[in-house]
Amino acid sequence: MLNLILFGPPGAGKGTQSQNIITKYGLAHLSTGDIFRANIKGETQLGVLAKSYIDKGQLVPDDVTIKMLQSEVEKNPGAKGFIFDGFPRTAAQAQALDVLLEARNQKINVLVSLEVEEEELKKRLLERGKTSGRADDVDPSVIQKRIEVYKAETTPVKEYYSKQGKTVEVNGIGDVLEIFKTITSKIDSRL
Ligand code: AP5
Ligand code: MG
């Protein structure tokens, strides 16, 4: 069983790197952002609620997000492990995840933190916004808000897992495959 968190600010490359990681390790991919976007597209009740936060660059409330994540984990009983992408994003979510995994006799093995500076993040997101159709990638003030929310509410998650000795930092700037190789070497050294 391998459970890992791919961590980092908006635009750090969590989704991009997840694709390679799930293939190599056979993990189930849980991206809370992707799940919210699928709900927005399907115009579900959850989607309508999530959209009202996402479009402003704010976090969806913890209770809603944790409940959704829990049900997604339960939908994958045979998974070899999970890659959590974009979750946990608050200290409360991290605590809830630990409780959830403990009840299943599992744990987080490692948190990989992709380190990318702010100017590069803004550049990537604005560029993607030209074609992605993501409302939160278009307006520079919403992108700024996402980055501020990350700093204020999400960075404590990295600290939370540092205290458990599970955080590893990886430079997220440069060639995508080179970054992937660095990530896998860090993961493998923890297996
Ligand atoms: P979410 O979908 O998680 O978005 P995010 O974390 O803000 O950022 P991205 O997913 O856009 O970035 P990423 O790190 O995955 O980078 P990517 O690989 O796409 O969340 C969206 C919203 O949903 C949140 O704002 C919040 O409202 C809500 N939400 C989600 N989870 C939540 C939670 N747990 N609690 C509460 N609310 C939650 O790459 C970005 C771009 O850069 C791409 O164009 C890519 O091609 C490019 N790129 C990637 N790597 C490189 C590289 N090495 N060099 C150059 N370009 C690169
Ligand atoms: Mg993503």
Testing ligand 1's pocket by substitution, the residue of 29, 59, 68, 153 carrying the most ligand atoms inside 8 A of its CB is 59
Average pLDDT for the chain: 97
Task: Please state the domain count of the chain.
Answer: 1
Return d(Cα 158, Cα 167) in angstroms, integer. Answer: 7
Q: Domain containing 14 — which CATH number?
A: 3.40.50.300
Return d(Cα 189, Cα 175) in angstroms, integer. Answer: 22
Condensed to tens digits (0 to 9), the pLDDT of residues 150-163 reads 999 999 999 999 99
Instruction: Decide if 146 is catalytic.
Output: yes
Across the range 17-36, mean pLDDT stands at 96
Condensed to tens digits (0 to 9), the pLDDT of residues 69-117 reads 999 999 998 899 999 999 999 999 999 999 999 999 999 999 999 999 9
Residue range of the domain that includes 128: 2-188
CB atoms within 10 A of CB 153: 17
**Whether pLDDT at 191 is above 90:** no
Q: What is the pLDDT of residue 130?
A: 95
Instruction: Decide if 104 is catalytic.
Output: no
Percent of the chain residues past pLDDT 70, beyond the cut: 100
Return d(Cα 161, Cα 190) in angstroms, integer. Answer: 14
Q: pLDDT category, 68, cuts 50, 70, 90?
A: very high
Ligand 1 close to Cβ of residue 9 (< 6 A): no
Show Cβ contacts of residue 10 under 8 Å, excluding neighbours closer than 6 positions: 121, 125, 143, 146, 147, 150
Percent of residues in the chain assigned helix, strand, coil, to nearest 5: 55, 10, 30
